[in-house]
Amino acid sequence: MGAIARNIANNITTSGVFTSGAITNSSVTGITVLANASDGITLISSQTASNSASISFTSGLTSTYKAYKFVFSSIHPRTDGADFTFNLSTDAGSNYNVTKTTTVFRAFHDEGDTIAQLGYRDSQDLAQSTSDQIIMVGIGNGADESSAGSLQLFNPSSTTYVKHFITRMSGYYSGNENIDWYSAGYGNTTSAVNAIRFQFSSGNFDGTIALYGIK
C-alpha cells in the first residue's frame, strides 16, 4: 500500500467518515493544479447608479456566453411609485427600441396582513411593442424602500432566433406592500442584441446592477 493510500486508510472512522488527517499537505504533494471550482458564472462588469437617470450596458453582451444574468441590488427610485424598466438595443445603444412580446404576473401582500393577491397583469405586458418593459412596478422612495432581483437574457448574439428573457423581482411597493414580480418574453429580432438600458418610468434612481456571463 502506498503512503498516500495508507494515510487515508488510517484516517477513516468505523462509520466511514474521513477525519481531518485523511488529507494533509504530505498526502497531496502530487497535486500541482487544483480543478476550477467555479460554478460557471463569471462577473463581467458592475455599475452603480447614484441619482442617475439610467444605467446602460453597451459592452459585454457577446457570443462568449449563451446566457447572461443581470443582478439588481438596492434599486431605489427618487420618485415615489415609479416603475423599473428595461429595453434592448441592436445598434450598441444608439437606440433602445427592440420589438417585444411579454407576459407578466405578480403576487403581493401588505404589511397589515389585509390584502394578498396573485394575478396576471395585462396592463403591464407588451404585444409587439418597442416600449420599455416594466420589471418592477411602483417602488417606494422612502429611506428604507427598494427592490432587488435579476434578469436573464438568453443567446443575445444569435442572428437566427428571437431573444428570450426572464425577470424576477422583489420590491417594497409604495403602498407598504411586498410585491413578487415575474415577467418573461422575447425581443422579436434576429439581429444580435448588444446593449441594454435600465431606467425608471419617472425620475432618477440609486442602486447597483451587475452583469454575469453563464457558461
- Over the stretch 48-89, which tens digit does the pLDDT of each residue have? 999 999 999 999 999 999 999 999 999 999 999 999 999 999
Residue with cell 438596492: 74
Residue 26 has pLDDT above 60, yes or no: no
Angstrom distance (rounded) from CA 211 to CA 215: 13
pLDDT recorded at residue 28: 47
DSSP 129: B
- Over the stretch 92-147, which tens digit does the pLDDT of each residue have? 999 999 999 999 999 999 999 999 999 999 999 999 999 999 999 999 999 999 99
Query: By CB neighbour count within 10 A (0-12 exposed, 13-18 middle, 19+ buried), where does 200 fall?
Result: buried
CATH number attached to the domain at 41-214 = 2.60.120
Q: Where are the domains of the chain?
A: 1-34, 41-214
pLDDT recorded at residue 7: 65
Angstrom distance (rounded) from CA 19 to CA 12: 6
pTM: 0.82
